[in-house]
Amino acid sequence: MHVLKKLTIVLAASAAALMAATTVGQAQTKLKWAHVYETSEPFHTASVWAAQEINKRTSNRYAIDVYPASQLGKEADINQGLSLGSVDIIISGSSFAAKSYPPIGVTYYPYTFRDADHLLAYTKSDVFKELAKGYEDKTGHHIVAVTYYGVRHTSSNKPIKTCADMKGLKIRVPDVPAYLAMPRACGANTAPIAFAEVYLALQNGTVEAQENPLTTIEAKKFYEVQKHIVLTGHIVDHLNTIISASLWKKLSDEDRKIFTDVAQEASAKATAEIKVNEAKLVDFFKEKGLTVTEINKDEFRDAVLKNVSFESFDYRKADWDRIQAIK
């Protein structure tokens, strides 16, 4: 009887453990976090850290898989995926958010920000909060954090010292209207080649030039197939961490705070790393044999203001003016 009693207790304990494991399994929510950046870049490493941290802080209730390097589609695809349900969280620029809510793309009007600190001050401002709310009202998707992406410069196979030197230049830009402003104001011919295909397009001469932050030019190895780095500094760029409408609605207030806090900590980590990396890269490119050229930004800025209206992109100049005023 004593042995039988012990066996009954053991079986009951095993059943309870199995039931508990099954309950935990059912309670765990699997999520997909997507972006288009390389695994070596801070945007990816910070995303992986965030996924693990959310799992930890929610007692294993959320298992988040991070899909880098366009594995779940190009940037336009993953933005659409937020509404289609194919992704739950993405990192993406406001230029793509602007396809749904144009005013939020005003930050891509060339020479809007003076530097990284000006951009980061904007992300804490009322104008940013209003634009983010406008985007959320339109789509339901919620921006939880903003990461500094770097200052966008131009790489080319022909020398560029003035705006006029870009006339007729075949340059790749993302498939977003705002990126066209500076090259077209200077007379370049733009080509909207997908991010994953840029290296090959530069290598085979489909295009002669492209524009991206120095950190991206290094990570994607564009410097291997380009001769010049031209410090046009035309856009001080950023990425938003966006949670889909369907996921945001399901999250409790407590979980919303955890997701937001972790995303903001991750963005601060990536931002700090980008700033450090960016500062080293001019010397790196010179060592690789590229010619690095400083330009007169005022000349380029004046060309844009003269040739490109805010209204042509459905931006509001009043928003741009308020951003200019941020200290």
- Quick: pLDDT tens for 213-252: 999 999 999 999 999 999 999 999 999 999 999 999 999 9
pLDDT score of 19: 44
pLDDT score of 2: 52
Q: What is the pTM of this model?
A: 0.85
Query: What digits encode the pLDDT tens for the residues 119-153?
Result: 999 999 999 999 999 999 999 999 999 999 999 99
Give the span between the Cα atoms of 172 and 16, in whole angstroms.
60
Question: Given this model, what pLDDT does residue 177 score?
Answer: 78
Tens digit of each residue's pLDDT (9 = 90 or more) over 275-309: 999 999 999 999 999 999 999 999 999 999 999 99
Which of 230, 260, 60 is CA-nearest to residue 157?
A: 230
**180, 235 in Cβ contact below 8 A?**
no
Locate the DSSP E strands across the chain.
29-34, 62-67, 89-92, 142-156, 170-172, 189-191, 209-213, 228-243, 291-294
pLDDT bucket at 175, cuts 50 / 70 / 90: confident
> What integer pLDDT is reported at residue 16 of this predicted model?
46
Give residue-wise pLDDT tens across range 28-43. 999 999 999 999 999 9
Residues 6+ apart with CB under 8 A from 145: 240, 241, 260, 263, 264, 266, 267
47 touches 69 (CB < 8 A)? no
**How many whole angstroms separate alpha carbon 76 and alpha carbon 251?**
25
